[in-house]
Structure 1
Amino acid sequence: MTGSSLARMLDVFDVAPAGAGRSAFTGGSDGGGRRVADGSQLLAQCVVAASKTFPGRTVRSAHALFVAVADPAQPLEFAVAPVREGRSFASATIAVGQGGRTCATCTVLLDRPGPDVVRHDAWTGPAPAGPGAAHPVDMPMRGREIRIEDVRDYGDPDEVGPPVIDAWVRYEAVPERDDLRRALLAHFTGHLAISTTMRAHPGIGTAQAHDTVSTAVMGIAVHFHEPVRWDGWVRYHHESVYAGAGMSHVRGQIVTGDGRLLASFTQDGMIRAFEPRGQAMPAASRL
């Protein structure tokens, strides 16, 4: 068991202003005992940094690219560059730096949600059996529970099936702050996408990552749908729609237990063989 906890992770998401302005923030990391910070953690922190830069607006989408490994033992810097700040919509780019180099970039769209003209939502997943019939997963973080439908070991190279994973996630408490709820939803989008892709291929799984294959999360895009509120379990539906040329593409949806769509996301991941001499190709954000 690592020292990771829900309370600690929410504290990590809550980046602090750096100086008197509103466009620079600092933050830490929780590597969960590893020597790399998850890209989805950086994405979540960017959601909060953008929300603090534009108070009164909500983040509607965030698109992050992870270009270098972030060391969880070192502080992170978030430089927010506003692109446009109109009466309703605002946008910004965020550079995440560490030790004088850029680790990630993120483009964020915010707005003031308006009244419905039309409304519908749709999710593409199969009818779920529900968390009660799903298999518990050991991803140590106190205050978080995870169960996966029809998959006993998501990283097992010998557990083969369709490139789909439905993961139920429940937190002991849901934050009151809107920006932290969005950050919390964004955080888990980086955890299972590459495993979803590998599941369709016998003899390869994320249990081999960083051993016989090199994997990395290269980019995540998340789109939030209003209202971003929930109680109890939420389901992350992952579907890998492409794998090839050393990359994978996964799309997903985050759905409440009663079927309401909270957010949609995509992830681009790297899946490549180790180079000769046992040297891995550069990885931006390891699982």
Structure 2
Amino acid sequence: MSYNTLSLITSLDNDDDFEKLKINFIEMLEDFQIRKFNHPFKGIVAQYNLKNSDKSDKKESIEQIVKNISRLYQQKKIALIEVDCFGGKCDSEGKIYANGDLIAEEDYDHTSHFKLLKIINDNYQTWHFEPFTREFFTKKGGIWGQINDEELIYFGLGIATAFQNNPLYRVQMTHNELILEKKGEYYIYLMQPLSNRIKILGSIDNDSNETLEDLKNVLKEHILYAKSYVFLDLIDKDEFIKLVNLEDDEMTEALYRFQSFNDRPFPSAVDTNIEKDEKEQATETEDILKKETDMPVHNSWWDKIMRLFGG
């Protein structure tokens, strides 16, 4: 599934600042979604889905509007950033305007948004930016983090054992991706785009104290026993929760969006067309699956995974 958006972003000084900018954005921008964010700095984002129109024409018309908005707020730097993702690979490009003038520009690259947002606010220090996630305008909060020096299959086995027979949860897995969803409350998405790093993403749909405690308990029991960190960005509550099992010098964010990694969908049936790398993994994981389940072991990697997860 592709993701292609165009976003106006600037920092906020106070709540009145947000209300004034929101009014101007609504008046001058058509079909944009608008929301305040609180991390890694307080700001406002207005975002347009570029799949809804001719990209080049839309970008050209919006650039002129951004120039005009920047003249209204002469003390602010306003970024216009396009993000384009497909198959796990993400690139971005953009410009920054101040008082109607172009002051910075970055061409397509998987780190361009980082360079631009760093100009908007020096507190910006990570590749991950919550407003560039699919459900940002509807969810209560975001989940993101990283597991160091582990393999996804082992986490998958533990999560499957704990949740596959619980009707409140949905568990799905491929050889490099896993989803654990508590329906109507949150979902956690694990992916292994690099050989020694597992990335963590997710959404929070219910930010009640009860749901958050349940989520934190799941993370602590099934993820945070390993060298890892998970951040919960509660957008409406203006809270940022850090769950960390790493030393300070191990807190580095591995970049991975420079390459595709999830070009295969979650399997809906046993796949008989096994790719070469899956055949190699099948031999390695056969003994693990025998020990963890009472199910017969078949030759297909997808057969094993689907049986493990109740398929």
TM over 0.5: no
Please tell me the TM-score bracket, short chain as reference.
under 0.3
TM-score, length of structure 2 as denominator length: 0.22
Whichever structure has more strand as a proportion of its residues is 1
TM-score, length of structure 1 as denominator length: 0.23
